[in-house]
Amino acid sequence: MRDAQSFDEFYRCTARRMMRYAYAVAGDHTEAQDLVQEAFTRAWRQWGRLSEHPAPEAWLRLVVARLATDRWRRLHRWRSALSRTGPPPDAPPPCEDGVLLVRALRQLPATHRQALALHYLFDMSVEEIARETDVPVGTVKSWLSRGRSRLAALLPDLAVEKLEANDVS
Amino acid sequence: MSAEISNLYRSLTVVADGMEVTHPELVRRRADRLARIRVAGTAVAVAVLLGGVAVGGRLAFSADGSAPLPPPADTPGPPPTSSTPGPSPSVSPTLSTSQSPTPANSTSGGRPPASATGAAAPRPPTSIPDRAFFRLAAANERGLESWAKSAMLPALCGASYPSDSAVVQRRGRFLAYKKPEQPAESVPDGSYRHTITIYRAGRADDALRELRQAVRDCPTQKLSDDTRTWRQRLLTSGEYGDESVLFEMRSPYPDGMGEPGADEVRLVRAVRIGDVVTVLWEQGWESTTAERAQVDADSRRAVAAIENWLD
């Protein structure tokens, strides 16, 4: 039996954080809203079991990341189709720095975006990111290092923290 | 102006916090509504499949023989297209009991196999016009089509296909479809990678034989961008063109994707019509469930379009 009250409470506590994460991973307003809604839809379908999960928010992040990756691939695949009619213009967010970052993030691989978002939005260590993404620690270090290097290349004014990947943990 | 990454992410959270968050009750309602729709759709698919297997099972023959090859046509082809892995979720949950591992072969529905006697054989076509590509049924039209280049087949344990050296021309596209009950502007219910290949005279048989062998030689595999194990097997294809191959790729959905406990299944059908092979690779759309009946219906359309072109 699924308890709607506990789900609604979970939703209210986590939806905002999940929206930030989805936006950082997907790089698009509408896409982020869609991803979050889809992730919570799946959460409700399995709420009987998920409510007993030791880390339901981590489960949600995983779903968001997988959905985003799937959609990212599809967007890439359909790019030529969309280019014939022209994509809808981006609604410019009010914050210039946020816009710059999101534009740059769109040019990073999904795994790099995911690792950077987990680190910078959730203050997760390399080990924690490795556990959540189910990859070796060294892979996460590589993702973070390469992701930051790529951002530095894409954002010339960016003062990249002089951190080695090892310092992230 | 300079900024640090951490500051940029703080700016990003400000933007994200300005986005509208749906009320949780609406999310629950949507989830329950979708669940009801999926249950109804699965019941229909089971009924259709059971009827289809009863008819198609009578038409299955072994089709592994290979004929001597005639001299190649005098029109050289472009470099062969290689196959690379590609994600493509689609689910057909009702294929578990009635398939034979033996692929189907039928000669009753298409033209005879290409002649092995060179001089008397009709010359195969040398270019593929747009009209060779089928149109979806009006109720399935979603208006999304892309001619982007991509692999013709999913990866099968790194299999290569020597018959690619006999390709005269290959064209391919992606196209999305919707279920008839969905409105025209809805999110698609699935998509195909659809290719048409002209082979030099007599070599199209090799392409299907190699594909069957590739599936048999690859019962399980891991894809480069996926930690799961995928299982491949041949299914009874039914009567399409001169001969056809149908196989599935199956793996459990990752947590949070698909229905709990369900498998993700991809369906791929290759059909030979003379020296032409068309491949319909159902790729789903964001983990949607592909229905065998839909793939069968669109396979028939694909074959009909090619037969009309070749006539």
A155 Cα to chain B: minimum distance (Å): 9
Are the beta carbons of B131 and B89 closer than 8 angstroms?
no
* Cβ contacts of B89 on chain A, cutoff 8 Å: 70
Nearest CA in chain B to A44: B28
Flag if B19 and A23 touch (Cβ within 8 Å).
yes
Give the pLDDT confidence of A74-93 residue by residue, as tens digits: 665 555 454 444 444 445 44
| pLDDT tens digits in sequence order for chain B, 311 residues long | 346 888 889 888 888 888 888 888 888 888 877 766 655 554 444 444 333 332 232 222 222 222 222 222 222 233 333 333 333 323 222 222 233 323 333 333 334 344 333 344 456 788 999 999 999 999 999 888 888 888 999 999 999 999 999 999 999 999 999 888 887 777 788 899 999 999 998 889 999 999 999 999 999 999 876 778 999 999 999 889 999 999 999 988 777 776 677 888 889 999 999 999 999 999 888 777 778 999 999 999 999 999 999 98
Nearest to A70 among B4, B5, B287 (CB): B287
Q: What is the pTM of this model?
A: 0.52
d(CA A94, CA A58): 29
Nearest CA in chain B to A161: B4
Give the pLDDT confidence of A23-46 residue by residue, as tens digits: 999 888 888 998 999 899 989 988
Of residues A157 and B96, more confidence is placed in A157
A148 Cα to chain B: minimum distance (Å): 8
Is residue A103 predicted with pLDDT exceeding 80? yes
Residue identified by tokens 């509208």 is B20
Sorted by where each begins, the domain ranges of chain B are 22-310
The CATH number of the domain covering residues in A1-88: 1.10.1740
Tokens representing A161 are 């923290």
pLDDT at A54: 83
Strand arrangement of the beta sheet that strand B167-177 belongs to: B141-146, B167-177, B190-199, B276-282, B263-273, B243-252, B229-235, B220-222
Of A120, A152, A22, whose CA–CA distance to B7 is shortest? A120
DSSP chain B: --B-HHHHHHHHHHHHHTS----HHHHHHHHHHHHHHHHHHHHHHHHHHHHHHHHHGGG-------PPPPPPPSSPPPPPPPP---------TT-SSS--SSPPB-SSSSPPPPPSSGGGSPPPPS---GGGSPPPPGGGEEEEEE-----SS--STT---GGGGGEEEEEEEEEEE--TTS-TTSPPSEEEEEEEEEESTT-HHHHHHHHHHHHHT-SEEE-TT--SEEEEEEE---S-SSEEEEEEEEEEPPTTSSSTTPEEEEEEEEEEETTEEEEEEE--SSSPPP-HHHHHHHHHHHHHHHHHHH-
Flag if A161 and B21 touch (Cβ within 8 Å).
no
pLDDT at A81: 52
Residues in a beta bridge with B32: none
The secondary element (H helix, E strand) that includes residue A121 is helix A110-122
Nearest to B16 among A20, A59, A66 (CB): A20
First to last CA, chain B: 67
Flag if A95 and B8 touch (Cβ within 8 Å).
no
Domain with CATH 1.10.10.10 in chain A: 92-169
Is it true that domain A92-169 has CATH number 1.10.10.10? yes
A76 Cα to chain B: minimum distance (Å): 10
Sign of the dihedral defined by the CA atoms of residues B35, B40, B42, B43, in that order? positive
Least confident range from A46-50, A147-151, B87-91: namely B87-91
Domain with CATH 1.10.1740 in chain A: 1-88
* Cβ contacts of A28 on chain B, cutoff 8 Å: none
Flag if A121 and B9 touch (Cβ within 8 Å).
yes
pLDDT at B182: 81
* Cβ contacts of B9 on chain A, cutoff 8 Å: 24, 101, 116-117, 120-121
